[in-house]
């Protein structure tokens, strides 16, 4: 008897779709059709080299970072990474200084004597190499100190409140002060934005990495094809990484996202700014500037920057500048998503995943993790898989 090869349809060729397709094809040896409505693969991580030789990340900066060793091992089967550690600066009163705030920031912003005073107080109270939320300075009366209270208010005003307003279109009175728990000070000189053990940029870019994941004789890829135009009869399973509300024809409403659009500029200078990303919390209408050549240390006498503007995603507006980027995780949307999630549980053999399918602000490693978990729930039919099984060797893995 010939072995039955199941047929799978994967909707979306971003990280989530590419990982699930790779597993089905490589491990289960099943047939997979991957479709994407974009004319390219890679989803929101799509990148390309432009005429200056600089790799442009079309939808803004993407830095791979994870603390999951098994995900690092898995993804390294498909690409080599450089040893890039992400640094972000913020423009405060015209000065470019590192964030998250650490002693380097404090010395950049304040006079040397006041900076030294703050450093001494922070070390005395919290020790060296700690991370303290600015709320700590505000809410713990027994630790209250007028200089640290000033520092907390300064950071809240200059680095947090106006950035939140630009990012989420919220008025200051709508922003709960409790959200400031996200803003912290590091009592060291560590300028890194992420502290994950594994960080880097794929040496040949994200699009090439996704191409490598999808490189398998059992996988067929169709770009420029919308799910709506596909006859789904004949597929044993569907993996849907598009927007879950669109799948259910918005029967419970439209899930809210913030959209980001990018104004690209070629500049006749070797470097535009010190780090790959510079935030502009208070000035201008854009929220940040990305400078791409930092990522792969690409050499050119020119540089390419992108100014990022964030606005509401509007359903039905087909402009390329209107995209679902950041899910707005407010109470209304969370309730609405729950209704869609319950609906999704009722449909058989359709699996929802990815940042749009799950309505989650996944990082790349979280998207991969989720796709591996969905794969394992199929392979082991809900039995608890061994962690090692999550990164079983794909025999035909391709590396650049």
Ligand X SMILES: Cc1cc2nc3c(=O)[nH]c(=O)nc-3n(C[C@H](O)[C@H](O)[C@H](O)COP(=O)(O)OP(=O)(O)OC[C@H]3O[C@@H](n4cnc5c(N)ncnc54)[C@H](O)[C@@H]3O)c2cc1C
Contact 21, 219 (CB under 8 A): yes
Q: Does 14 bind ligand X (CB under 6 A)?
A: yes
Q: How far is CA 127 from the centre of its chain?
A: 32
Nearest distance, CB of residue 61 and ligand X, angstroms:
5
Q: Which of 308, 313, 298 is nearest to 48 (CA)?
A: 298
Which residues inside 344-363 make contact with ligand X, applying CB under 6 A?
Answer: 354-356, 362-363
Shortest gap between Cβ of 283 and ligand X (angstroms)?
Answer: 21
Q: Is 87 near ligand X (CB under 6 A)?
A: no
Burial label, 365 (beta-carbon count in 10 A; 0-12, 13-18, 19+): buried
Quick check: 55 binds ligand X (CB under 6 A)? no
| Position 61 contacts ligand X (CB under 6 A) | yes
Q: Rule CB under 6 A: is residue 309 a binding residue for ligand X?
A: no
Under the criterion CB under 6 A, does residue 303 sit at the interface with ligand X?
Answer: no
Closest CA to 88 of 294, 264, 299, 282: 294
Listed in sequence order, the residues at least 6 apart from 3 whose beta carbon sits closer than 8 Å to its beta carbon are none
Size of the site for ligand X (CB under 6 A): 33
**Closest distance between ligand X and the C-beta of residue 395, in Å?**
24
> Inter-axis angle of helices 15-26 and 206-214, to 10 degrees?
30
Q: What's the rounded Cα separation, in Å, for the pair 378 and 398? A: 24
Stretch 247-266: interaction string toward ligand X, x if CB under 6 A? -------------x------
Residue 138 DSSP code: H
Q: Which stretch binds ligand X (CB under 6 A): 62-70, 87-95, 128-136, 282-290?
A: 62-70
C-alpha–C-alpha distance, residues 191 and 189, integer Å: 6
CB of 364 or CB of 390, closer to ligand X: 364
Q: What are the two backbone dihedrals, phi and then psi, of residue 136, each rounded to the nearest 5 degrees?
A: -55, -40
Q: In the complex with ligand X, which residue's Cβ is closer, 314 or 386?
A: 314
Query: Can residue 310 be called a binding residue for ligand X (CB under 6 A)?
Result: no
CB nearer to ligand X: pick between 25 and 109? 25
Rule CB under 6 A: is residue 12 a binding residue for ligand X? yes
Residues in touch with ligand X (CB under 6 A): 11-17, 35-38, 43-45, 59-64, 226-227, 241-242, 260, 325, 354-356, 362-364, 367
């Amino acid at each position: 008897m010939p072995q039955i090869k199941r047929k799978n349809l994967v909707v979306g060729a971003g990280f989530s779709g590419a990982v699930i397709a790779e597993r089905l094809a490589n491990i289960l040896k099943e047939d997979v059709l991957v479709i994407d409505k974009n004319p390219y693969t890679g989803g929101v991580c799509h990148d390309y080299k432009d005429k200056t030789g600089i790799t442009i990340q079309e939808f803004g900066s993407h830095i791979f970072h994870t603390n999951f060793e098994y995900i690092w091992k898995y993804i390294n089967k498909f690409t080599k990474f450089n040893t890039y550690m992400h640094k972000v600066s913020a423009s405060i009163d015209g000065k470019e200084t590192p964030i998250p705030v650490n002693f380097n920031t404090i010395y950049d912003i304040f006079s040397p004597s006041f900076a030294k005073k703050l450093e001494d107080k922070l070390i005395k109270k919290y020790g060296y190499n700690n991370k303290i939320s600015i709320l700590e300075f505000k809410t713990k009366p027994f630790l209250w100190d007028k200089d640290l209270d000033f520092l907390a208010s300064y950071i809240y005003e200059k680095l947090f409140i106006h950035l939140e307003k630009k990012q989420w279109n919220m008025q200051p009175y709508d922003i709960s002060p409790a959200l400031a728990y996200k803003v912290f000070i590091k009592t060291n000189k560590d300028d890194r934005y992420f502290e994950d053990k594994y960080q880097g940029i794929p040496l040949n870019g994200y699009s090439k990495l996704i191409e490598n994941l999808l490189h398998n004789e059992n996988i067929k890829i169709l770009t420029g094809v919308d799910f709506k135009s596909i006859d789904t009869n004949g597929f044993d399973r569907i993996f849907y990484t598009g927007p879950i509300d669109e799948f259910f024809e918005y029967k419970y409403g439209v899930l809210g996202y913030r959209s980001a659009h990018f104004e690209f500029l070629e500049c006749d200078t070797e470097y535009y700014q010190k780090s790959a990303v510079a935030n502009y919390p208070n000035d201008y209408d854009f929220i940040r500037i990305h400078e791409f050549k930092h990522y792969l240390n690409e050499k050119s006498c020119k540089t390419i920057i992108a100014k990022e503007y964030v606005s509401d995603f509007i359903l039905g507006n087909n402009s390329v500048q209107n995209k679902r980027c950041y899910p707005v995780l407010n109470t209304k949307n969370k309730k609405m998503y729950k209704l869609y999630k319950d609906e999704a549980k009722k449909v058989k053999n359709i699996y929802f995943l990815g940042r749009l399918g799950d309505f989650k602000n996944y990082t790349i490693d979280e998207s991969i993790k989720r796709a591996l978990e969905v794969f394992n729930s199929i392979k082991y039919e809900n039995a608890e898989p061994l962690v090692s099984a999550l990164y079983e060797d794909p025999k035909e893995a391709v590396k650049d």
